[in-house]
A and B are shown apart, each in its own frame.
Chain A
Amino acid sequence: MIAEYGHVALIIALCLSIAQAIVPMAGSFAGYRTWMRLGHSLALGQLVFVAISFACLTTAFVQDDFSLQYVADNSNTLLPTQFKISAVWGAHEGSLLLWALILAVWSAAVALFSSHLPLVLSSRVLSVLGAISVGFGLFILLTSNPFARILPFSPTEGGDLNPLLQDFGLIVHPPMLYMGYVGFSVAFAFAVAALIGGQFDSAWARWARPWINSAWVFLTIGITLGSWWAYYELGWGGWWFWDPVENASLMPWLVGTALVHSISVTEKRGAFRSWTLLLAILAFSLSLLGTFLVRSGVLTSVHAFANDPERGVFILAFLGLVVGSSLLLFALRGPVVQRQQGDTEAVSYSGLSREMMLLLNNVLLISAMAMILIGTLYPLIADVLDLGKISVGPPYFNFFFVPMSLGLMVAMGFAVFSRWKKTDANMLLQKGMVPFLISLSAALILPLFLAESISWETYSMTAVITLGASFWVVTMSLEDLWQKLDRGSSKAASNVSSRLKSLTKLPGSYWGMQVAHIGIAVCALGVGLSSVYDVQKDVRMVPGDRVEVAGYEFTFDNLSFVQGPNFGASRAQISAYKNDRLVAVLHPEKRKYEARNQVMTEAALDAGLTRDLYVSLGEPLKGDAWAIRLHVKPFVRCIWLGGLMIGLGGLLSVMDKRYRRRRKPSTQSGTEATAL
């Protein structure tokens, strides 16, 4: 019965979202305030019913209701309870329901926290969100119903969740990622509402900015978690594969990053208006495109679940409708948005200014996104055009992405010091002098000590470039911070305590920028150094063997058999020594999951800030020998540390007091008449 309740709740939620899409929008044109206000209650109602539906599906999983096709395919009585819950979003149908739930959460959040917005704007935003939710509701109910039954002969045991997904990473990674994807729907809705109303100014940017930043924070953390999960769970020691699904998450992130920067120009200077709107539309469109690529079966990837062309047609039609209509609206209404009431003079800025720096940032980020988009879709496009059959791999992506990232980092260092309107080039060069010398010496000297031995063969240019770029960003950021503090303390420049006192006076968004930029440097450091100094050995070992890898001695102590809740595993014990001192005892496993008879490699790792030891079991060989892969990965952890710092930076910016302090004036200025 519970499944039927869930199904009915989902249908009710769909009905509510249809009303939410139509009523407030109609009200905003007709001027009926009650209709407009209805959007807020409908959004909350929709959240309640989608949540009920989601809870029902979760209950079906926990109670092992294998009469549901979806549960039977993805769960098993032996599956530990936490994985039964995460199995809800372990495959296609359930992950769409999670999408719908998260969309409802964002809509409800907009409904609750938009009291300071003009009613016309907030009602239109909610209407657009309602329309998106209609699309997803129909998609779930018509093509991917998780509540479909297998009757009358339902299985007594389920097929089990894919062992790859039986992991803590899967519990947290998809919800975070979806919070980011779907969060951009709010940015999208704000953009569409602005286009419809023709009101698009600094006030709009200030209202939309916290929403955009929070979506971006979730996406950043989601991608970081995904990469971390791939690293320890797939057992290959890689952390990014340029897989279509990974690209699908990186593209909205790049556009979102561009948006986060361009909207600051719109807020502070009123410039880049159409561009900001276009980015807001684009970020969400790419999130939808990602969904299409993963779900339609046009591309095969590590992450793809059930592929079904029928679903592909539906998503494509939905994608076309959402993206096509919003871009058409953009083309038709763009000129209205650019000519704002109250704009007496055009916003001007010179060739060297913060505006130009942010424009450069946007150009680089969007080019990076475009080249990933082309690389991801090229096999499809080439096939349609009969240009021959070429698959695009990591070399292509690295070839473009690495120089662009380095360019971004160089510009980032200068950008911190740049001023609005006009910046003195000599000032920039002067400020850059000390950081440049520090980074140059760090870049030239440090690789000598990072390599195993001091010699030309091991001296790596990649390491020099990585260190140089990272130090550059960090030292420039710190110099700016130091000077900001200097200005904060009135007379005694050398007085440390007064400088520290002025730390607290800097706004949250400034701290956010600093933390995120340094996060980029930390992440780049991890990427570059781990790729240069990574040492990997595939060896054959019998218990008692000792192998040396990059200064570490690994001994294969013993092999045992352990029984897990739903798997049996061969578990090796491998000790790592450095200079004859025990540093880690590792237990890699080769698991066999009973329900699917699937073999999984469970790597073991000893994590550290400066290096990871990573051991995975290959195949059993003759006798009691095993093929074993031993990795020493210097600084690999910095990749995810940097990712988390970037997310933290975004969070600090969201919490900036400015967005709450102005609540009062904005309710006054945002009268309904101006927006119509």
Chain B
Amino acid sequence: MNRLPLFIPFALCLALGAFLFFSLGKDPLDLPSALVGEPFPEFVLEELHEPERQVSTEDFDGQVLLVNVWATWCFACRIEHPWLNSLAKDGVVIVGLNYKDHRKLAQDWLQERGDPYQFSIFDPRGILGIDLGVYGAPETYLVDAEGVIRHRRVGVVDERVWNEEFRELYQQLVDEANDQ
């Protein structure tokens, strides 16, 4: 009898295994967010450095800002971090969303690498992450003065991505906000 068909499941399994392995190594996905054009989801969570302080969308304070999802277990976040530091130095307002992490580790991480965030939302269970539809870290959301999400980037934001996807829109939103 022909034995080849019996190897089909094995071959399929190998192929699937390869996919899963590559997806482990990759940055999580760049999914077009259904939330672009929608208000940033409501949340009430602790601040990373000050556990007794509750932060919410009110703390966005009508500023045009970036919300950056990060975690200490996320390798790509390390690559991204220096660029966020330099953006913050240039006056871009960035809010951190510390995602599924341990508080102590996250604080040490920022101490070591510099803290570009105006404040960091501490979300150890990924509650806000689910509302946002976070697919993995890092992710960055551009929020306008009205608190509406205008752009989403899944994966690292570096100088190239900033110039291609964010710079123009960000400037435009800031100008609009200043006009009012």
Supposing A300-B134, A316-B17, A320-B17 touch, asked if A599 and B44 sit within 8 A by C-beta, the answer is yes
For B9, the chain A residues whose CB sits under 8 A away are 278, 281-282, 327, 330-331
A128-144: contact bitstring with B at CB < 8 Å (1 yes, 0 no)?
A: 00000000000000000
A298 adjacent to B20 (CB under 8 Å): yes
Q: Does A670 contact B (CB under 8 A)?
A: no
Q: Does B14 contact A (CB under 8 A)?
A: yes
Which one of B86-94, B124-132, B142-150, B170-178 contacts A? B124-132
Range class of the B interface residue count = 35 or more
Chain B residue with Cβ nearest A390 = B31
Task: Say whether chain A's binding surface is mostly helix, strand, loop, or mixed.
Answer: helix
Q: Does A307 contact B (CB under 8 A)?
A: yes
Chain B residue with Cβ nearest A381 = B19
Which residues in chain B, 1-45, are within 8 Å of chain A measured between CB atoms? 1, 3, 6-7, 9-10, 13-14, 16-17, 19-24, 26, 28-32, 42, 44-45
A313 adjacent to B24 (CB under 8 Å): yes
Which residues in chain A, 387-431, are within 8 Å of chain B measured between CB atoms? 389-391
Q: Does B57 contact A (CB under 8 A)?
A: no
A300 adjacent to B135 (CB under 8 Å): yes
Q: Does B73 contact A (CB under 8 A)?
A: yes
Most buried by B among A274, A328, A383: A383
Distance, CA A389 to CA B136, complexed state (A): 14
A380 adjacent to B10 (CB under 8 Å): no
B20 adjacent to A380 (CB under 8 Å): yes
Q: Does B78 contact A (CB under 8 A)?
A: no
B73 adjacent to A308 (CB under 8 Å): yes
Which residues in chain A, 254-307, are within 8 Å of chain B measured between CB atoms? 274, 278, 281-282, 285, 292, 296-298, 300, 302, 304, 306-307
Q: Does A352 contact B (CB under 8 A)?
A: no
A25-60: contact bitstring with B at CB < 8 Å (1 yes, 0 no)?
A: 000000000000000000000000000000000000
Kindly provide the distance from the CB of A371 to the nearest chain B CB, expressed in whole angstroms. Answer: 15
Kindly provide the distance from the CB of B78 to the nearest chain A CB, expressed in whole angstroms. Answer: 13
Q: Does A650 contact B (CB under 8 A)?
A: no
Task: Say whether chain B's binding surface is mostly helix, strand, loop, or mixed.
Answer: mixed
For A344, the chain B residues whose CB sits under 8 A away are none
A300 adjacent to B136 (CB under 8 Å): yes
B44 adjacent to A316 (CB under 8 Å): no
Supposing A316-B20, A327-B9, A327-B13 touch, asked if A391 and B130 sit within 8 A by C-beta, the answer is no
A297 adjacent to B44 (CB under 8 Å): no
Distance, CA A566 to CA B30, complexed state (A): 39
Q: Does B54 contact A (CB under 8 A)?
A: yes
B7 adjacent to A324 (CB under 8 Å): no
Distance, CA A282 to CA B1, complexed state (A): 23
A306 adjacent to B100 (CB under 8 Å): yes
Q: Does B158 contact A (CB under 8 A)?
A: no
Distance, CA A613 to CA B86, complexed state (A): 54
Distance, CA A125 to CA B168, complexed state (A): 64
For B1, the chain A residues whose CB sits under 8 A away are 335, 338
For A174, the chain B residues whose CB sits under 8 A away are none
Kindly provide the distance from the CB of A64 to the nearest chain B CB, expressed in whole angstroms. Answer: 19
For B26, the chain A residues whose CB sits under 8 A away are 383-384
B124 adjacent to A292 (CB under 8 Å): no
Q: Does A377 contact B (CB under 8 A)?
A: yes
Chain A residue with Cβ nearest B135 = A300
Q: Which residues of B contact A (CB under 8 A)?
A: 1, 3, 6-7, 9-10, 13-14, 16-17, 19-24, 26, 28-32, 42, 44-46, 54, 73, 75, 100, 124-127, 129-130, 133-136
Given A313-B24, A335-B1, A383-B26, 7 other A-B residues pairs in contact with their CB atoms under 8 A = A159-B124, A298-B28, A324-B13, A328-B10, A377-B19, A377-B20, A597-B54
4 nearest A-B residue pairs (beta carbon): A327-B10, A380-B23, A334-B6, A331-B6
Q: List 6 A-B contacts (CB under 8 A).
A: A282-B9, A298-B28, A304-B126, A330-B6, A334-B3, A597-B54
